[in-house]
Structure formats: C-alpha cells, structure tokens
Amino acid sequence: EILDAGVGEMLQPFDLDEFREWNRSKKSHKLQDKRMTEQEAVEAFVSEGGYLGTELYGTVRAPMSLTRELIRQRIGNLRVCGQGVLELDMLIAAGLVSAADVTYIGLEVYGVSAPLRRAVESGQMRTVEWSNAAITWRFKAAAMGVPFLPVRTMLGTDTLKYSAAKVTRDPFTGIQVALIPALILDVGLIHVHRADRYGNCQIEGITGFAVEMSRACKRLIISAEEIVDTDVIRCCAEHTCIPYYLVDAVVEAPFGSHPGEMAYLYGRDEPEIKAWVDASQTEEGTAAYLQEWVTDLPDHIAYLEKLGEDQMRNLRNLREVR
C-alpha cells in the first residue's frame, strides 16, 4: 500500500539484473595497469547523455581535474547527482547538465549558486530533490542489489514531496517508512589521496560516500593525488576503501581537488573560490572564467603551471594538522 509519493521524476531508471550482468560480463576484473590521463579517461568512459555521479561534498576531495576535462570535451546533456559545490556548479555553468538529482548544489558561505538558479529558471535543467542521506542510501541499495531501502529520512518534508520516493507502512511495526530507490551510475568520478596503478584506492580523513558510490557505478574513473607502488597500499591494506576491480581508469592528479581541499595535504583556495563565485554571477563572467581557467588550458598540468608553485606551497601550509 502506497500512502504517499513524491512528484519527482525518476531520472535514472534501473535494472538490477542488467547491472549484475554488466559487472559480470563487461567489467574487467584483471589486475591490470589502468593509468590514463584525464583526456583519455573521459574520452573512453563518458558519453553524451550519460548519468554521472561525483563525490564528496562541499569543496572536499572534489574531482576538479576530471570536471575541467569534461568541460573541455563538451560532453553534454548529462544527468548528474552528488553533493556537489564546485564540480557540479561548473558543469551546470558550462551548459552540460540537463537534469540533476539534487541534494545540495550551493556555495556554502556564498549562498545559492547563480549558475544553478539560471539553469533551473530558464528550463535548461530539471531537478529532483533528495536528502544527503537518501542519495547515499540509493547508492547503497544498488551496491546491495536491492531495488530500494526503507528509511525514515525525508518523511514529513517537502524534500520528499519533490523526490521520487514513496511512503508505505512497515509490515512488522506498522510505522511509515520512505522507500528510497536504487541508483546506478553510468560513470562515477572520485578523487582520492592515493591509488596504485591497478586502482586500489585509499582516502585520508572523511570517506564520505565513496564506498557506496564506487559499488554503484558501471564505470568508475579515479583521480588520485599520487599513484604509489602496490606495496605501499599493502602496508596499510585496511585503508583501501575502493578495490581495483571496481575501477576502470586511474589518473594521477596532484592538486586534483583545487580550488577545493584535500585533508592533510592542502587547504581550500578561498580567493580562487571567491573569484569563481563573483565571475559566475553573470553569463559573461562565467564564460570568461571558464575560458581562462579551463578551455584555454590543454590539460591539468597546464592548470597547475598557471596556478604556480608559490600558490601551491601556500595551500600546503593551510593543510589540516593530524
């Protein structure tokens, strides 16, 4: 018995048996070298009209080097989800997003994103709302191979009203529960502290929803601050939260989260984030910023050269202390 239902669209219909078959027949489980550049990984695994997920939230571990490459390659009509700030904001500003499962796309202390507002008000982008917990549990349901998880999040809120969740009665206790549908990504983008050439990944500090999302992807592109020898991974294997057989590409990207931060390595670049916020208030300013910091630069190496050693050194000095 369905007691209530959100009015939101199911942006990514799913077939759990098809996903299981995909992992069995199309996902390589070989221990093979998966190192690529951002350009190679995006060209190989991201397609026009695909459903894309990013991880983490705020400006923490944002997959920015991969995001900038997506913008360079102009892969559009994307459907997206994530708890994004910088990466999803820039994809929306570049006109590449047609629909989004929204948990949070804001600019924290700077308020609501201007590109998000323009995209929604103009009709460029459709949105469906979810809570932060709900989007993570949608990944978890896909990873578990079940069509939904019963939860109590969003009950009694307008977030549920504008989601695609349904409310039913728990047959064991009689209480109302929200049914959160599984979410299978065409491609996931995750930035980590270190990985080996095969895709074994480790994260320092908050792990966010990397574990859940990495297991809900058909294709997974990892960018890493450094690619290390497998023996380094094996020395503290208990920190390996994403194993190699989930990963399709590994990209070495020092300062790959910039202007976001990386726990224990570098702090967030507040002046550069403010520069993006100011520029993105208008379409003209947005276009000028993206041209200077993205499309006029051939790759992430050129981006780091433009950023400069002094700025990178200053950001390392802002890193969190263990």
Residue-level pLDDT at 64? 96
pLDDT averaged over 10-residue windows placed end to end, the chain, 322 residues: 96 96 92 97 97 89 96 97 86 96 83 91 95 94 97 95 97 97 98 98 93 97 98 95 97 96 94 95 98 98 96 84 40
Coil, helix or strand at residue 220: strand
Rounded to an integer, what distance in angstroms lies between the CA atom of residue 176 and that of residue 156? 10
Residue-level pLDDT at 322? 38
Residue-level pLDDT at 319? 66
Total residues belonging to the chain: 322
Residue-level pLDDT at 169? 97
245 alpha-carbon distance from chain centroid: 19
Residue-level pLDDT at 83? 76
Rounded to an integer, what distance in angstroms lies between the CA atom of residue 71 and that of residue 94? 7
Residue-level pLDDT at 68? 98
> pTM of the predicted model, to two decimals?
0.96
Name the burial class of residue 172, with classes exposed (0-12), middle (13-18) and buried (19+) by CB atoms within 10 angstroms of its CB: exposed
**Cα atoms found within 13 Å of the Cα of residue 92, Cβ hemisphere only:** 31
DSSP state of 293: I
